[in-house]
């Protein structure tokens, strides 16, 4: 059986002068023409071609785009090869650059057993790159990596690296996330090579996604890497995208359906922390730790490592869902966290002096209130916290803002619950006794405490809004 045939040609790196005679001949011989994209300086040479630009806008992933391209080309080639008026028609598929350099759609088409593929060699962007950089890629050992998979393909490398497919801001963000580098990291940006708009310039690593506006003709050259690539983190991001693409369960999830899993994983992390042996306040090892304690510590840290991984998966999952909705990526999450921590540590990154950890916390709360333009120090406390944690958080915020808590008329009757110098276990027994007493009268301790905290929070906000600042507020 003779398979339908498709001729694949490359349109060169940019300028019309780099398009080969063989490619022009292939275009002239074809009667049915397709372009992977019209976003290329020489796409106009393929007159009357249908493009696949619409697939990029409709599909959720590049894999879906390339699969749809292959199906469309196979269908066109099959129709062209069938008996009838269309018999003898030749199908052409034209791609930017060379069909053999970073062309996943061509790779997929060549692996498709339904058609035979004829390749027309062409110049790629690589030829222009080596000329502009003045390097011999073989002698210098340059490795070519895909910007979409930078963290994985560049893992363990020290350079030199040429990074292709840097066509969008999110690609730059993912590259920066994978590499923890500073001002010492040199980056050469190459844009529009072979076109009248060609630019070759150098930027520092921190400025990479600030001053560079990427497009489909953008590449990066790293003469050497100043720091190792965070391959494991980048691989976990790529794995999450793969699960969303190929796993029916992961594909069906939403932010709302994952809510309970996030809560469960957070509690499992807390449980793992509770199984670690007690340490001094500075986090150092216990000096007289026995061999049995050391073994228990090893097991505890192994469990904590695993549970933190499960919690990281939840962060990845929500970030991936947001990325698919066009809202933010995991790189944006990391960058937001970085900027927040820098802004809230002026004693580390600025010229603010602090005396102790208490001042650090007070500065943190003040800066956060200014950032979020909150009218009350109680704003931003999660209402979904367990009642006991909610109560502690409300009292803590009030105290940090300089408000002393007056327990009110119920104070004397509560004074005997705890002995002088009470310890944690004394407080625990008192709380447990209150729960027991409440159960005797069919009272829900969680609901009762939440109601009391809500009322106390309302009184505190009224005290704040009154404008007559006092040194204390009445709890109840």
For residue 35, the SS3 value is strand
Distances (CA, A) of 211 to 47, 165, 169, 202: 36, 18, 11, 11
Residue 313: is it exposed, middle or buried by C-beta count within 10 angstroms (0-12/13-18/19+)? Answer: middle
Q: State the residue for tokens 């994209």.
A: 37
**Hey, what are 100's tokens?**
């053999």
d(CA 217, CA 365): 46
Show Cβ contacts of residue 132 under 8 Å, excluding neighbours closer than 6 positions.
190, 193, 200
Q: How many CB atoms lie within 10 A of CB 431?
A: 14
For residue 339, the SS3 value is helix
* pLDDT tens series, the chain, 476 aa: 688 899 999 999 888 888 999 999 999 999 899 999 998 989 999 999 999 999 887 777 788 888 899 999 999 999 888 765 445 578 999 999 999 888 888 988 998 889 999 999 898 889 899 999 999 999 888 999 889 888 777 776 777 899 998 988 888 888 887 777 777 888 999 998 888 888 999 998 888 888 899 988 899 999 987 666 666 777 788 889 999 999 999 999 999 999 989 989 998 998 999 888 776 554 444 445 555 565 556 678 899 999 999 999 999 999 999 989 988 888 888 888 888 888 888 888 888 888 888 788 777 777 776 766 666 767 777 777 777 887 888 787 777 777 767 666 655 555 567 777 788 888 888 888 888 888 888 888 888 888 888 888 888 888 777 765 555 566 65
**Hey, what are 317's tokens?**
């999952």
Q: Count Cβ neighbours within 10 Å for each residue of 206-245 and write b for 16 or more, e otherwise.
A: eebbeebebeebbbbbbbebbeebbbebbebbeebbebbe
d(CA 263, CA 269): 10
**Hey, what are 341's tokens?**
């921590």
- Give yes or no for a contact between 7 and 32, defined as CB atoms under 8 angstroms apart: no
- Give yes or no for a contact between 94 and 33, defined as CB atoms under 8 angstroms apart: yes
């Amino acid at each position: 059986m003779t398979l339908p045939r498709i001729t694949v040609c490359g349109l060169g790196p940019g300028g019309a002068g780099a398009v080969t005679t063989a490619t022009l001949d292939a275009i002239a011989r074809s009667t049915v023409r397709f372009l992977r994209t019209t976003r290329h300086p020489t796409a106009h040479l393929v007159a009357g071609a249908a493009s696949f630009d619409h697939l990029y806008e409709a599909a959720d992933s590049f894999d879906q785009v390339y699969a749809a391209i292959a199906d469309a080309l196979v269908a066109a080639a099959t129709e062209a090869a069938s008996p009838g008026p269309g018999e003898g028609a030749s199908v052409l598929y034209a791609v930017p650059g060379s069909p053999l350099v970073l062309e996943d759609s061509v790779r997929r088409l060549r692996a498709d057993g339904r058609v035979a593929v004829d390749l027309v060699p062409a110049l790629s962007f690589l030829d222009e790159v080596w000329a502009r950089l003045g390097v011999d890629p073989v002698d210098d050992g340059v490795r070519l990596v895909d910007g979409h998979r930078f963290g994985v393909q560049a893992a363990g490398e020290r350079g030199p690296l040429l990074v292709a497919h840097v066509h969008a801001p999110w690609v730059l963000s993912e590259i920066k996330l994978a590499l923890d580098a500073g001002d010492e990291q040199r980056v050469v940006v190459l844009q529009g090579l072979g076109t009248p708009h060609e630019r070759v310039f150098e930027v520092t690593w921190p400025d990479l996604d600030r001053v560079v506006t990427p497009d489909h003709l953008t590449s990066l050259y790293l003469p050497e890497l100043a720091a190792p690539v965070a391959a494991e983190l980048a691989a976990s991001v790529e794995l999450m995208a793969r699960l969303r693409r190929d796993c029916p369960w992961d594909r069906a999830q939403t932010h709302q359906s994952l809510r309970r899993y996030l809560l469960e994983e957070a509690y499992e992390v807390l449980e793992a922390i509770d199984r670690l042996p007690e340490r001094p306040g500075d986090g150092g090892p216990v000096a007289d730790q026995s061999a049995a304690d050391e073994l228990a510590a090893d097991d505890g840290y192994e469990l904590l490592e695993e549970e933190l991984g499960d919690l990281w998966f939840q962060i990845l999952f929500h970030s991936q869902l947001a990325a698919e909705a066009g809202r933010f990526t995991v790189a944006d999450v990391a960058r937001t966290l970085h900027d927040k921590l820098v802004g809230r540590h002026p004693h580390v990154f600025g010229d603010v002096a602090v005396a102790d950890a208490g001042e650090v916390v007070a500065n943190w709360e003040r800066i956060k209130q200014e950032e979020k333009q909150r009218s009350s120090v109680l704003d931003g406390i999660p209402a979904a916290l367990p009642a006991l944690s909610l109560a502690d958080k409300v009292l803590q915020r009030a105290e940090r803002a300089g408000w002393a808590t007056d327990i009110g008329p119920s104070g004397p009757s509560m004074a005997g619950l705890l002995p002088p110098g009470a310890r944690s276990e004394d407080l625990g027994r008192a709380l447990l006794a209150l729960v027991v007493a409440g159960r005797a009268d069919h009272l829900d301790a969680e609901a009762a405490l939440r109601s009391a905290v809500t009322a106390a929070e309302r009184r505190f906000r009224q005290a704040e809004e009154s404008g007559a600042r006092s040194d204390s507020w009445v709890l109840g």
